[in-house]
Structure 1
Amino acid sequence: MKFQTPLYAFLLTAPLALLARADNGAPSTAETTAQAQTAQVPTKAKRGDTTLLKERVALPTTPTADQTTAAKLVYGLLSDSRYAYRPRALDDALSADMYTRYLESLDGGKQFLTAADVARFDTHKLKLDDAIKSGNLAPAYAIFSTYRQRVDERVAHARALLKQDIFDFTGNDRFEYDREDAPWAADQAALDTLWKQSVRNDWLRLKLAGKQPADIRKTLDKRYANLSDSISELKGEDVFQTFVNSYANAIDPHTDYFTPRSADNFNLSMSLSLEGIGAVLQKQDDVVAIREIVPGGPAGKSEKLKPGDRVVAVGQGDSGAMEDVVGWRIDDVVAKIRGAKGTKVRLDVIPAEVGLDSKPNRVVLVRDKVRLEDQAAKSKVLTIPAAGDAPAKRIGVIELPGFYQDFEGRRLNKDDYASATRDVAKLLTQLRADKVDGVVLDLRNNGGGSLTEAIELTGLFIDRGPVVQVRESGGRVSVEGDSDTGIAWEGPLAVLINRGSASASEIFAGAIQDYGRGIVIGETSFGKGTVQNLVDLDRWPANEKARFGQVKLTIAQFFRVSGGSTQNKGVVPDVSFPVSVDASEYGESTYDNALPWTRIAAVPHTSYGNFAPLLPKLEALHGSRIAADKEFQWWSDDVAQFREERAEKSISLNEVARRAERDSEDAKRKQRQEARKTLGLDLDPLADEAGDDGLQASERDFAKDVAREKAAEKRPDPLLRESAAILADAVRLLNNDRQLSAQVLPTAVQPGHWAD
């Protein structure tokens, strides 16, 4: 479990606006990008070479006319109180803030730039406000140009280290992997030392995983070369988006600028549907490979493609030219593959089991609308064993990953538009038919989505009434609520949340808690209490084709019907589980410019129940049960170990010490496997394979990696099961104690049948 993050991995995750556009191993759904663009990174070597040398994309020193206009439009929005909830004057103070954020977006881990570089950049520190206002982005490109040069230098240094005799692991030195709060390296020599430890850590991880020196050297050399390639592939639009976001994010943490392509991606992610072939693509070295086939899509129905197959050329229609896409950015390949329903696309594919120099197979597919079912709501039923004289209880579980909605489909009044509320309503109908005794709605790691969906989903469990209060920038407060009579589920309800439950999840959980409609279980939520709206920058010029992008703009703050905000504080559960992530490490409270918590007046709303008299009894039953629950205790122990190791911020480079840690983890894993067998929980071996293999996602066998992920989804989930057990406890207690039931659920307003 030890943190073993290489230095450059911070680069792969931190500069989101940049590297979301240049793949570094993360999968990408094959139909999620916007208009196709001609790839500007032609290969200069034949397929099958270890490293394909590429021509560097020439970055502009001045913005395009569209970018100049877009920058001015963003400025107009973010500085105007009619649009922005908390506008800030674009002055020297904000320029200094932008400067800091721009450097963080490029080199948040401080592994590439030196203190001397930053000192030289300081001349731009108070000029970035003028750059936005005028649309002259020369400072942004100048800083990025140096950054890209430094990445090349670091990669060259790392690759040279692989040829040196530095891989002795008998000393007591450590790799300091967390450099977020560290000072900038004094000079190149300081970076050399830093990277030497990073490369040694990479080598040691692979060595501990059983790899031989020749294979380790080959793997790491390719990995570092790919890192440099990913930065060299970045285009002017990527730098523009990152720079403008240094301005947008300085306004507040949830205001963002999207280029036309990334805006399209965002909208597709909300709709859970797209038009294309139905495949998840991922970059593997210098080719794009199929990671996963989406069930029911054209690729799956054809039975001609499988995980690991590599796409080397793409052609449009029956006769369009086949374009060689080896060496292209993944979003450019995706743009070629996705397209309108009913159109044809031809793919030249090299099967996973043969070499890259092999003759490709030609696969012709007709694009279709594909629903991303794995991201939609799902349900199952858990049986909670009998307790004393009380019979077993069947608890329905609905897992909701996000509050998705196909906005365009709803606007056009399509019958089949994607909607979280509509999907949950169907699942509730099925669970009712299955005669479950209660329902747990699992919102763990649900980062939110549509405000409308949060309101309408709450309406499935209450009979009309306010759900959330929304305060706009001018101070006007409106109350949004459920106006439909009737309840889709009247019975016992629990909501499971964690620190990753945010925004719309918090609106729903807070409303259920305020109404006394259900029990909230888990960890305190994220604490995002603001509302964003997408503003299309092309709406003013009325362009036929998207040119300027969109802004996700904070326009309001939401408050619970009880008057309190979820901002910063989140939703506090009625029954708490151990904290897995500290509030100082993750959540709204970690943002330096987050809005503060505040309160407004409550609005009248029904009180369906008051669980306060019930909670001590539930806590007592919960405590005694988890004391004997092996899976829950293992999870709790792992969380404690995780937090302890995270606090260290470094890791030993002594092989004996690291091997002892690895052996200890292996022994613990095997002990748990044996314990599960005695309990009749014999897992798929893939779900519990040995841990760190030292590889990145793009370096693994895709088919095996996906199989491991699918197997891991079937691992025991002690938190979900315990949540269901807590709800079952509540049902039993209220059934068996009429006096308690009368206290908790006044019959005059009871919406359903918590107690018989």
Structure 2
Amino acid sequence: MKIISLVFFLCTFSLIAQSDTKTCVLLSKVNTLIQSKHIQPKPIDDSLSVFVFDSFIDALDPSRNILLKSEYQSLSLKYRLNIDNLIQRNDCSFLPDIITVYKNGLLRNRAILEKMKTDTIGYNVKDTIRFYKKAFPFYLEEDQVETAWRKNIKYKILDDIVSQNTNLDSITAAFNTVESASKKLIIANEICKINVILQKESGFEENLFDNFCSYFDPHSAYFNVDTKSNFVASLSKEHLSMGMNVNLNDRNEIIIIKIDPDGPAFQTGGIKKGDQIIAVSNLKETLQVSCATLESISNMILSDTNKKIMLTLRRSSGKNFKVLVEKKLLKDEGNAVYSFIIVHKNRRYGYVKIPSFYTDFEGNSGKGCSEDAALEVLKLQKDSIQGVIIDLIDNGGGSMEEAIKLAGMFIDNGPISIIVDNKNEQSIIIDPYPGMIYKDPIVLLVNGNSASATEFFASALQDYNRALLMGSTTVGKATMQSIMPLEPNDNENFVKVSINKFYRINGKSNQATGIIPNVVVPEIYEVLYPKECNNPTAFKNDSITSSIVYKQFIKNSAMAKIAKRSTDRIAANSYFDETKKLNKKIEDLVNTPKSPRPLTLTAVIKDQSEINAMWEEINAFDTKSNNLIIHNSNLNNYLLSINPSEKANNEFQLKNVKKNHYLNEAIAIINDLNSVKK
């Protein structure tokens, strides 16, 4: 036995040593690439060590219920100020050491949960639970762990019961039965989640690489083959797909809500709208939905390397069944440009939605969003429109090349932006298309989710007064990234590196501040949108000296008068006034610290009732119509007549546009712009 144990120990040590060496080699290559290509590389010092350690621990234990206080303090003492030194010595033994302590904590928690299966929860015990708005710094003492888990499970059981029935008398009458079923399911799911992590033998080093990259800025990141594939697919109008949409219901179950009749899921004949996804397999690994993370499920489904997916489904609480789906190249309707005609007082106005700045990375069609958007504008012009509303709301960016092309189509000629590289050398981006495809008024709609390439495009049109911007302040990302392999022949490891900053032609930057629209309009949920300036590693705002001379489409004084008229109309608009009030309620709900809550049915019912009432109010408000007449252009109507399979998506898009309350004011702005002599 001693000999076997010694051999096992030596083999294990050898494997760990090899793993450490490989991790450090890759980390060294990541650092070399960043130091040579990044717009603003930082030295490897204690600041990096603190950031990487804190970020890594936060990702492992966000709820502070795995590591003990003593374990955290021990790891912190060893590594929080020392990771930089270890990396420089090619010593990555800190990673398996942290993971060993982490997995021991998971084993401890699993044992507690196994014990709770047969223990009584104790609903008569007076317990309270506290909800924290941000990550909290403290960890548990060893004698507190079981109590913390018992309270956690107790709350989840009560919350699960109340989510199905809010009638106190009804719940009380059947409490023993519903409590037993809920307890069994919740504990089983928690144990399952722990087992998934315990069985995980790799992937932790990728989290380390990602934290290392994000120290330099929030948008630099490590990619393996799958994550690179998923990222590129998100910027494309066409990608390998199963042809179905899913959603999470109130019980965190994944439900199929839409099936593309031209897609492979529909063509199997075995999948229907409303089916629940129980498990997902790439034929090598199977993920149970109840205990896998949404990120891991999403990565498995979306990865282009997984061309065949086995779905385990359940229909109407019946038996589970399996369906094999082989992906095929499909157009992503939710990521494609579309347009409508808006009729108001016998005048026509164009509406163009650009969901993202997608491009054709694979070279299959040669088309990107700029060409698609130009085509939609040309279609609308055939219907004698007064102006165009370009909707960039929730457009998170994408291809900078597409943004440059699109800006060039609407600006007559001249410089669009100034780019600065890591040698601090400046280059001016010139309009690639002299002349304009459209010369009449443009209103751009933006919001707190509009970012990156969207901000590049919007700021160019704003600087030339070619368009009036309406909405809320944008994210504030003014950097460009490029995906690079770690080495020329490395097809497995990549880094998305921030290689440039872009500045407006006047030398100012949107970085961290975002673009402030000419007309600021309140938007529901805007208090929830993350901003670039709130990220600890984001670049600060700066400016450069610019001597660029350019001719504005409309004088500043005229644009200011139009913006003032619009602002006055918005201030008197009851819809936007109600939006502000709802935003205040949402902000209070999200940001106001909650007092400790008693763990009782009455308290949980009260909390859920308050939240449900708010969401009902928001949903009722969010579904109000803008009372505009909106329809397809004549040319798009013809195209739909020969492609009837696209009608369902067209109707879905039309329904959303009819709820857009920015459009009424955008039309008024277009009328004001038309009154100005150009």
**Range into which the TM-score falls when normalised by the shorter chain:** 0.7 to 0.9
State the distance in 1 between where 2:226 and 2:673 align. 54
State the distance in 2 between where 1:520 and 1:350 align. 46
Stretch moving more, 596-605 or 503-512: 596-605
2:552 maps to 1:607: yes
2:487 maps to 1:531: no
Query: Among residues 211, 223, 232, which one is paired with 2:198 in the alignment?
Result: 232
State the distance in 2 between where 1:674 and 1:599 align. 44
2:92 maps to 1:146: no
Aligned to 1:374: 334
Query: Among residues 123, 128, 131, which one is paired with 1:176 in the alignment?
Result: 131
Aligned to 1:97: 51
Task: Give 1:370's aligned amino acid.
Answer: L
State the distance in 2 between where 1:118 and 1:675 align. 46
Task: Give 1:460's aligned amino acid.
Answer: M
- Displacement after TM superposition at 1:95 (Å): 2.1
State the distance in 1 between where 2:379 and 2:512 align. 37
Residues 138 and 661 (structure 1), Cα distance of their counterparts in 2 relative to 1, 3 Å cut: closer
2:25 maps to 1:69: yes
Stretch moving more, 476-485 or 585-594: 585-594
5 Å-filtered alignment, 1:122-271, equals 122-133=77-88, 135-154=90-109, 156-157=111-112, 163-167=119-123, 173-180=128-135, 182-211=136-165, 212-236=178-202, 238-271=203-236
2:297 maps to 1:352: no
State the distance in 1 between where 2:667 and 2:152 align. 50
Aligned to 1:572: 516
State the distance in 2 between where 1:176 and 1:346 align. 38
- Displacement after TM superposition at 1:587 (Å): 0.9
Secondary structure at the residue paired with 1:143? Answer: helix
**Ranges in structure 1 where 5+ consecutive residues have no aligned partner:** 1-57, 316-321, 385-390, 682-706, 748-756
Q: Deviations over 1:438-494 (max 9, x none)?
A: 322222222211111111121222122222211112211111132212323322211
Aligned to 1:597: 541
Aligned to 1:635: 579
Aligned to 1:619: 567
Task: Give 1:374's aligned amino acid.
Answer: G
Secondary structure at the residue paired with 1:74? Answer: helix
Task: Give 1:614's aligned amino acid.
Answer: I
State the distance in 2 between where 1:555 and 1:678 align. 44
For the aligned residue pairs, the C-alpha RMSD in angstroms reads: 4.0
Aligned to 2:61: 107
Please tell me whether the aligned partners of residues 449 and 529 of structure 2 are also in contact (alpha carbons under 8 angstroms): no
- Displacement after TM superposition at 1:516 (Å): 0.4
Please tell me whether the aligned partners of residues 495 and 509 of structure 1 are also in contact (alpha carbons under 8 angstroms): yes
Q: Percent identity?
A: 21
- Displacement after TM superposition at 1:74 (Å): 0.8
2:404 maps to 1:455: yes
Secondary structure at the residue paired with 1:613? Answer: helix
2:216 maps to 1:272: no
- Displacement after TM superposition at 1:275 (Å): 3.4
**Ranges in structure 2 where 5+ consecutive residues have no aligned partner:** 1-13, 166-177, 628-647
Query: Among residues 42, 50, 65, which one is paired with 1:88 in the alignment?
Result: 42
Aligned to 1:724: 663
Instruction: Calculate the TM-score normalised by the size of structure 2.
Output: 0.79
Please tell me whether the aligned partners of residues 114 and 184 of structure 1 are also in contact (alpha carbons under 8 angstroms): no
Q: Deviations over 1:69-88 (max 9, x none)?
A: 322211112233xx111111
- Displacement after TM superposition at 1:179 (Å): 4.3
State the distance in 2 between where 1:732 and 1:460 align. 22
Residues 192 and 482 (structure 1), Cα distance of their counterparts in 2 relative to 1, 3 Å cut: farther
Instruction: Calculate the TM-score normalised by the size of structure 1.
Output: 0.72
- Displacement after TM superposition at 1:711 (Å): 8.3
Task: Give 1:256's aligned amino acid.
Answer: A
Higher helix share: 2
Aligned to 2:262: 296
Q: Deviations over 1:114-138 (max 9, x none)?
A: 3211211121233322443455422
Q: Deviations over 1:541-572 (max 9, x none)?
A: x25xx23x111111121111121100111101
Q: Deviations over 1:578-598 (max 9, x none)?
A: 376788983111122322111
Query: Among residues 396, 399, 403, which one is paired with 2:357 in the alignment?
Result: 403
Please tell me whether the aligned partners of residues 230 and 302 of structure 2 are also in contact (alpha carbons under 8 angstroms): no
Residues 136 and 261 (structure 1), Cα distance of their counterparts in 2 relative to 1, 3 Å cut: farther
- Displacement after TM superposition at 1:372 (Å): 1.7
Please tell me whether the aligned partners of residues 113 and 184 of structure 1 are also in contact (alpha carbons under 8 angstroms): no
Please tell me whether the aligned partners of residues 394 and 448 of structure 2 are also in contact (alpha carbons under 8 angstroms): yes
State the distance in 1 between where 2:370 and 2:163 align. 45
State the distance in 2 between where 1:732 and 1:582 align. 28
2:369 maps to 1:420: yes
5 Å-filtered alignment, 1:299-338, equals 299-307=265-273, 308=275, 325=286, 330=297, 334=301
Secondary structure at the residue paired with 2:410? Answer: coil
Residues 658 and 421 (structure 1), Cα distance of their counterparts in 2 relative to 1, 3 Å cut: same
Residues 235 and 398 (structure 1), Cα distance of their counterparts in 2 relative to 1, 3 Å cut: farther
Please tell me whether the aligned partners of residues 56 and 211 of structure 2 are also in contact (alpha carbons under 8 angstroms): yes
Please tell me whether the aligned partners of residues 113 and 147 of structure 1 are also in contact (alpha carbons under 8 angstroms): yes
Aligned to 1:694: none
Aligned to 1:23: none
- Displacement after TM superposition at 1:288 (Å): 9.7
Q: Deviations over 1:26-77 (max 9, x none)?
A: xxxxxxxxxxxxxxxxxxxxxxxxxxxxxxxx99564276544322211112
Task: Give 1:724's aligned amino acid.
Answer: L
5 Å-filtered alignment, 1:437-456, equals 437-456=386-405
Aligned to 2:634: none
Q: With a CA cutoff of 8 Å and minimum separation of 6, indicate the structure with the bigger relative contact order.
A: 1
Please tell me whether the aligned partners of residues 287 and 297 of structure 2 are also in contact (alpha carbons under 8 angstroms): no
Secondary structure at the residue paired with 2:561? Answer: coil
State the distance in 2 between where 1:584 and 1:666 align. 18
Aligned to 1:51: none
Secondary structure at the residue paired with 1:137? Answer: coil
Query: Aligned residues, how many?
Result: 615
- Displacement after TM superposition at 1:403 (Å): 1.4
Residues 184 and 299 (structure 1), Cα distance of their counterparts in 2 relative to 1, 3 Å cut: same
- Displacement after TM superposition at 1:622 (Å): 1.9
- Displacement after TM superposition at 1:273 (Å): 2.5
